[in-house]
Amino acid sequence: MTETDPKPPVSEGNEKAARGDKASPGKYVYDGRTPPINIFLHWCKACNICIAFCPKKVLEPDREGKPTLAHPEKCTQCAICWLHCPDFAITSNYK
Ligand code: SF4
Ligand code: SF4
C-alpha cells in the first residue's frame, strides 16, 4: 500500500467501539439483571483460582471460600475465570 492509497474501510461497529459507545456490537455491558457468569457452586471446590485471576476483581469469596459475584458490573467477559476453573464450574451467560 502506498501513501496515496485511501484508508481501508472501517465498519460503523468498529468506529463505535473505538469511541467506547456502550451499544457497540460485541462489547459486553451488564444490564443489571442477567449476571455475566454462572457459578455452579456444587461443582466448586473453593480453590479461589477464579477470584485470584479475575483482572477486574469481580469475584469475592463467601464464608466457605466459594466465589460470589460481588461486582458484576465490572465484568468484561474476558473468559479468564471460566477458562481457568479446574472444575468447569463457571460459564458465561453471554458467550
Ligand atoms: S469473565 Fe473476566 S472479568 Fe468477568 S468475572 Fe471472569 S475473570 Fe472476571
Ligand atoms: S476456579 Fe472454579 S473451583 Fe475454583 S473457586 Fe473458582 S469456581 Fe470454584
Residue 85 CA: which ligand is closest? 2
Q: What is the pLDDT of residues 52-64, one digit of tens each?
A: 999 999 999 999 9
47 C-beta closer than 6 A to ligand 2? yes
pTM for this predicted structure: 0.76
| C-alpha of residue 50 to centroid of ligand 2, in Å | 6
More confident residue, 94 or 15: 94
89 C-beta closer than 6 A to ligand 2? yes
Alpha helix ranges (H) inside 1-78? 12-19, 49-53
| Residue from 37, 38, 44, 92 whose mutation best tests the ligand 2 pocket (most atoms within 8 A of CB) | 44
Q: What is the pLDDT of residues 78-93, one digit of tens each?
A: 999 999 999 999 999 9
Backbone phi, then psi, for 21, in 5-degree steps?
Answer: -60, 135
85 C-beta closer than 6 A to ligand 2? yes
Nearest Cα residue to atom 6 of ligand 1: 81
Averaged confidence pLDDT in the chain: 83
**Which region holds residue 48: left if phi is over 0, alpha if psi is between -120 and 50, else beta?**
left
CATH number (3.30.70.20, 3.40.50.720, 3.30.360.10, 3.60.20.10) of 35-86+88-92 reads: 3.30.70.20
